[in-house]
Structure 1
Amino acid sequence: MDPTIEDVAGNVDSLWLLVAAALVLLMTPGVAFFYGGMVKAKSVVSMMMMSFGAMALVGVLWVLYGYSMAFGDPVIPGLLGDPFQYFGLTPFLGITDGGAMDPDLGGLAFAGFQATFAIITVALISGAIADRAKFGAWLVFAGVWVTVVYFPVAFWVFNLAEGWAPVWGVNDFAGGTAVHINAGAAGLALALVLGKRVGFQKGIQKPHNVPLTLLGASLLWFGWFGFNAGSEAAVDGVAAVAWINTLAAPAAAILGWLIVEKLRDGKPTSIGAASGAVTGLVAITPACNILTPGWAIVLGVLAGVICALAVDLKFKLGFDDSLDVVGIHLVGGLIGTLYIGIFGAGIGLLDTGSFEQLGKQAAAAFGVMIYSFVLAWVIGFIIQKTMGFRIKNEDEVAGVDTVVHGEEGYALETV
């Protein structure tokens, strides 16, 4: 039988989703490079391993029960899916009585795409506890947190038919709440549980490899086109708008961040440019489908300026968020999510004259933030008091790479 036009269109959409999923998966090694360049030379292996560990563990858990918890039939209406309904993604395989498979292209493509979101969300958290975390404890935290926090929150936000947020009318197109606010709040909780690095103060540590961080930012931006435009799950005008806004907002955010650096410090930096790009990407994530490119540029500038100022709050408030997960992802996610309530096309305050959408956006943003922070703190605290989460101070000074992994990022032969 010849395929119908509808079949071909569906196959094209699924193909785009598979490509987008590969782009988003590349973002997690991008996070590893981005974070790896900013830590000490004797911590780079540990920092990058935390991202690769997230890829391994979360990838397995997603296939086993994570997808089912996020997209299965609700066992708690609006809040949680049945963890056994799609266990192992078996229902998508179309297994016949003879054992052969007739896989569901669309279902598997969507499951794979959403898996990459779960993976990178966990990887983002790791930057808050750089230089001082045990790898085994990190994996325990990652497995528990993704199960009790991320998978349920993904149901809230990404399950368009059953999740309370989209049913209520919250606009979070690609994960400003589920990914960035979620990760940022968890990062803050872990930073408080593990405490400050040895000698923590402003300016004590410089990035050991700036080009590595710039490479990571480049990979993140490249993959983010799949992150945002892929969230439409179709090849259409909305995907194109999301793509354009994913170009415009981070470009503007770079300028905003660099202006702050020039005025505050006298010099714009390449680390500032990389951080500004990521900030703009974070902010546009929930809003990329609902903003005109002009308003996306305004959002980018605002996010770049505000987040460039916010990253210094850790020194004033006394928490050691090593790589600014809070200042970039939590603050940037809040800005982008709330911005929709004012400037979102057809739903924001400017178009409707009503604060209703802003209220909905705020409820989703702060609801996810509080839920993630509280549970991440509890999980981290229990791990710290049992198996221990933080390495010893002397091991931190000696270098977490050799102590935890028995490796060096830059092993130079000596004669």
Structure 2
Amino acid sequence: MKNLLVILALFGAVTCTAPAWADEKAADAPPATAMATPTSAAAAEAPAAPAFAMNKADNAWIMVCAALVILMSIPGLALFYGGLVRSKNMLSVLMQVFVTFSMISVLWVVYGYSMAFTEGGSFFGTLDKLFLKGVTPESLGATFSKGVYISELTFVIFQGAFAAITCGLIVGAFAERAKFSAILVFMLIWFTFSYLPMAHMVWYWAGPDAYIDAAAAEAAGKTAGFLFQKGALDFAGGTVVHINAAVAGLVGAFMIGKRVGYGKESMAPHSLTFTMIGASLLWFGWFGFNAGSALEASGGSALAMVNTWVATACAAMSWMLAEWLIKGKPSMLGAASGAVAGLVAITPAAGFVGVMGAIIIGLLAGIVCLWGVNGLKRMLGADDSLDVFGVHGVGGILGAILTGVFCAPSLGGTGVYDYVANAVGDYDMGAQVINQLWGVGTTVVWSGLVSLVAFKVVDMFIGLRVPEEEEREGLDITSHGESAYHI
């Protein structure tokens, strides 16, 4: 009962007071962004432009991509994680992913979208769009091409699906021993103070139509998120999603502690069949994740789709072959883990690198992430149950840095587009790699600090871990009163 009251109090504090915050803003405040709307403040100083209209083909494609990203979470991620735990905890992991997805979806509509994708400061947006105030079927959101727009509502659900799966990724790091109520309260805090500012820092900008000349570009640049201003490239979430979630998971694994019997008892996955199905659904849904991040049904979207396909295949092969050489046998778990590693590593680079760059990133991801879940994990000494940091953290860091390398036009990449010149600009690989390191470092520090505080607060009021006897019996029965299997 105490845990339930804490959850209701925290949730109520957000939802019940939100309308009052909304009323503080003028009723006719200009609609903000889906990246940025045609009426953003940065574009307001620009000369009058023709009427904007939605591109129906692009809009339809991004709606499909949003559904694919949702499929990645439920059932994709849930089954992938569920198969990796012991049978007595299968249902608990399904429940954690499913309910986390549901809760974050609600919070995204209540205040998340507003804080991430409205023009505010360098780290947070504003509360102008609480409960999607002012977002109507007629509201438009910019893409990455001048004069091309999709429905803002489409952008809302597409980005909301990103937020939900990011929070779901975290639960794998401390699976099989965390309190369900503690997980939910932690997610609420972390989503608010880590995911939302990271999304704003990396992805918020005024939109391409604001960049009409050098002066306008300078003014527009000052309204963008902190890491966008730094020039960090993240096509679909290497920093915002993967490194961000992985650091949170690692902090949680340390603070919650190791599972009872860790290192002494067998904790082998109970169903690699489910894990393989989950990995396959993740791969399928990831086409929406990466190709949809182009925000258009364009050649850039097709490039991201092909890169996602081939990098993932390369990583699955390189992980499997490396494991085969080391252990003498290729494993299904290794192939599935390699595929996810490839998906993670190509995410920040998908729309920026050529196919050869994607192949190299994929091959490296399989090998480097294999080390991440073995050598690095032993060095860290944390019980990261489902290797969230070894795959998503290591893979995300690798992909983010290599984006700066293989984005170079000389290596088959797209380069960085100059919206004032309306052409690809000169490319400085060294400078871009430094920009990428800014993104990686900021994400690690920000998520680490927020996670540390959030876990401390939850531990003070609720406690992070179930009692030992409940952990030994299994969370399916002790936390949810149900069982995944009845034999």
Deviation at 1:399, TM superposition (A): 0.6
Instruction: Report the secondary structure of 1:411's partner residue.
Output: coil
Separation in 1, partners of 2:437, 2:412? 13
- Alignment-derived partner of residue 64 in structure 2: 19
Deviation at 1:389, TM superposition (A): 1.2
Deviation at 1:137, TM superposition (A): 0.9
Query: Is residue 71 from structure 1 mapped to residue 117 from structure 2 by the alignment?
Result: yes
Match for residue 82 of structure 1 among 108, 121, 126 = 126
Match for residue 278 of structure 1 among 320, 326, 340 = 340
Separation in 2, partners of 1:348, 1:51? 39
- Alignment-derived partner of residue 239 in structure 2: 177
Deviation at 1:5, TM superposition (A): 13
Instruction: Tell me whether 34-43 or 380-389 shows the greater mean CA deviation.
Output: 380-389
Contact (CA 8 Å) 1:348, 1:358: kept in 2 or not?
no
Deviation at 1:284, TM superposition (A): 0.3
- Alignment-derived partner of residue 144 in structure 2: none
Contact (CA 8 Å) 2:347, 2:399: kept in 1 or not?
yes
- Alignment-derived partner of residue 93 in structure 1: 136
| Aligned alpha-carbon RMSD (Å) | 2.0
Separation in 2, partners of 1:347, 1:110? 33
Contact (CA 8 Å) 2:244, 2:443: kept in 1 or not?
yes
Instruction: Report the secondary structure of 2:409's partner residue.
Output: coil
- C-alpha change, 1:169 and 1:31, in structure 2 (3 Å) is same
Superimposed CA distance per residue, residues 269-304 of structure 1 (whole angstroms, 9 cap, x where no aligned partner): 111111100000000000011111111011101010
- Alignment-derived partner of residue 155 in structure 1: 200
- C-alpha change, 1:385 and 1:280, in structure 2 (3 Å) is same
- C-alpha change, 1:395 and 1:271, in structure 2 (3 Å) is same
Instruction: Tell me whether 64-73 or 374-383 shows the greater mean CA deviation.
Output: 374-383
Separation in 1, partners of 2:386, 2:409? 37
Match for residue 471 of structure 2 among 396, 404, 410 = 396
Deviation at 1:168, TM superposition (A): 2.5
Separation in 2, partners of 1:372, 1:397? 31
Contact (CA 8 Å) 1:92, 1:107: kept in 2 or not?
yes
Instruction: Tell me whether 181-190 or 375-384 shows the greater mean CA deviation.
Output: 375-384
Deviation at 1:6, TM superposition (A): 8.0
Separation in 1, partners of 2:240, 2:199? 6
Deviation at 1:345, TM superposition (A): 2.6
Match for residue 334 of structure 1 among 383, 394, 397 = 397
Superimposed CA distance per residue, residues 228-253 of structure 1 (whole angstroms, 9 cap, x where no aligned partner): 00001101111010000010101000
Contact (CA 8 Å) 1:245, 1:296: kept in 2 or not?
yes
Separation in 1, partners of 2:139, 2:412? 45
- C-alpha change, 1:348 and 1:71, in structure 2 (3 Å) is farther
Separation in 2, partners of 1:349, 1:25? 32
Q: State how 1:14-413 maps to structure 2 within 5 Å.
A: 14-29=59-74, 30-74=76-120, 77-83=121-127, 85-93=128-136, 106-161=151-206, 162-201=224-263, 204-312=266-374, 313-346=376-409, 352=427, 354-412=429-487
Separation in 2, partners of 1:245, 1:354? 20
- C-alpha change, 1:305 and 1:5, in structure 2 (3 Å) is farther
Q: What amino acid is aligned across from residue 111 of structure 1 in structure 2?
A: V
Deviation at 1:103, TM superposition (A): 6.4
Superimposed CA distance per residue, residues 33-89 of structure 1 (whole angstroms, 9 cap, x where no aligned partner): 000000000001111111111111100100011000001120xx2111002x11111
Q: What amino acid is aligned across from residue 399 of structure 2 in structure 1?
A: G
Identity across matched positions, percent: 43
Deviation at 1:159, TM superposition (A): 1.0
Deviation at 1:90, TM superposition (A): 2.4
Unaligned runs of 5+ residues in structure 2 are: 1-49, 141-149, 207-223, 416-426
- Alignment-derived partner of residue 99 in structure 1: none
Give the TM-score, by structure 1 length: 0.92
Superimposed CA distance per residue, residues 78-129 of structure 1 (whole angstroms, 9 cap, x where no aligned partner): 111002x1111121126xxxxxxx6666110001100000000000000001
Contact (CA 8 Å) 2:353, 2:412: kept in 1 or not?
no
Contact (CA 8 Å) 2:404, 2:429: kept in 1 or not?
no
- Alignment-derived partner of residue 34 in structure 2: none
Separation in 2, partners of 1:5, 1:44? 53
- C-alpha change, 1:324 and 1:111, in structure 2 (3 Å) is same
Separation in 2, partners of 1:315, 1:150? 28
Deviation at 1:349, TM superposition (A): 12
- C-alpha change, 1:230 and 1:403, in structure 2 (3 Å) is same
Separation in 2, partners of 1:407, 1:168? 49
Separation in 1, partners of 2:336, 2:70? 19
Separation in 1, partners of 2:446, 2:125? 17
Instruction: Tell me whether 273-282 or 370-379 shows the greater mean CA deviation.
Output: 370-379
- Alignment-derived partner of residue 98 in structure 1: none
Q: What amino acid is aligned across from residue 175 of structure 1 in structure 2?
A: G
Separation in 1, partners of 2:153, 2:412? 38
Q: What amino acid is aligned across from residue 451 of structure 2 in structure 1?
A: A
- C-alpha change, 1:349 and 1:334, in structure 2 (3 Å) is farther
- C-alpha change, 1:202 and 1:308, in structure 2 (3 Å) is farther
Question: Which has the larger share of helix?
Answer: 1
Separation in 2, partners of 1:45, 1:374? 31
Unaligned runs of 5+ residues in structure 1 are: 95-101
Contact (CA 8 Å) 1:349, 1:358: kept in 2 or not?
no
Separation in 2, partners of 1:256, 1:81? 41
Deviation at 1:347, TM superposition (A): 8.7
Separation in 1, partners of 2:347, 2:265? 31
Contact (CA 8 Å) 1:202, 1:315: kept in 2 or not?
no
Separation in 2, partners of 1:367, 1:349? 28
